[in-house]
Amino acid sequence: MTYHLSASPTTVRLKRYTKTEQSEILGDSADPFGVADAGLTWLPKDDHFGIRQEGRLVAHAGLLRLPISIGGLDTEVVGVGGVAVAPDLRGRGLARLVVTAALDHARTMGPQNGLLFCRPPLVPLYQRLGWRTLDQDVHVEQSGGLVIMPLRTMWTPLHNGANWPDGAVRLRSLPM
C-alpha cells in the first residue's frame, strides 16, 4: 500500500496527550526537548493541539494559563509548551501550523500575551512565527524556591495592541 502525505494537514484538538502521544511524535529518547541540562521541573499543559497524518500523530503544541507577576502586578499569560514535530517531518511548516492553531485558541482564553521558554537555537524559529525575546531575567518557581530561568524567554501578543509591560518578571508557578 502506498501512503501519501496529506496535501494540507489540519490541526485538531487532542483529547489526551501523555508520554505515549509524545513518544509517538518524538520517539523514546531520554531528552527529546534538549532541556534536561537545565534540571527544571515542568508543568504539563492543559490544552493540546496536534496534527495527524495517515493516523499517526506527527506534531503537538500545548497550552495552559499561568499566573505571573510583571513589575509587581499580578496577571496571567498563556504558556505554550511541548512544541514537537516528528523528526522525519521537520522543516515542512508543521510547527508553524500547530503553534498557529494553538495561538488561535489562546486568543479565546483571556490573557493578553503568550509566553514560552526555548533553547537559544530555537529563538530565530519562534521569531519567524512572530514571537519576541524578553531580554531580562525571568524568575520561575521550582520546589526549592525561585530560580532564574536558564532558557530563553519569548512572548507574543494575543490581542491587538497587547504589549509586554516593563518590570521584573516572576512566573508564579512551575514553568511549562
Q: Which residues bind ligand COA (CB under 6 A)?
A: 32-34, 83-85, 90-96, 118, 122, 124-125, 128-129
Shorter beta-carbon distance to ligand COA: residue 96 or 105: 96
- For residues 174 and 140, the answer to whether their CB atoms sit within 8 Å is yes
C-beta of 47: minimal distance to ligand COA in Å?
Answer: 16
What number of CA atoms fall less than 13 Å from residue 14's CA on the CB side?
27
Shorter beta-carbon distance to ligand COA: residue 71 or 93: 93
3-state secondary structure of 67: strand
- For residues 126 and 152, the answer to whether their CB atoms sit within 8 Å is no
Shorter beta-carbon distance to ligand COA: residue 117 or 144: 117
C-beta of 175: minimal distance to ligand COA in Å?
Answer: 11
- For residues 138 and 173, the answer to whether their CB atoms sit within 8 Å is no
Classify the C-alpha dihedral 45-51-52-56 as positive or negative.
negative
- For residues 76 and 67, the answer to whether their CB atoms sit within 8 Å is yes
C-beta of 33: minimal distance to ligand COA in Å?
Answer: 5
CB count within 10 Å of CB 138 equals 21
C-beta of 1: minimal distance to ligand COA in Å?
Answer: 26
Shorter beta-carbon distance to ligand COA: residue 36 or 146: 36
C-beta of 123: minimal distance to ligand COA in Å?
Answer: 8
Which residue's entry shows cell 496529506?
Answer: 6
The β-bridge relationship of strands 113-118 and 73-85 is: parallel
Shorter beta-carbon distance to ligand COA: residue 96 or 172: 96
Q: Which three cell numbers stand for residue 121?
A: 537555537
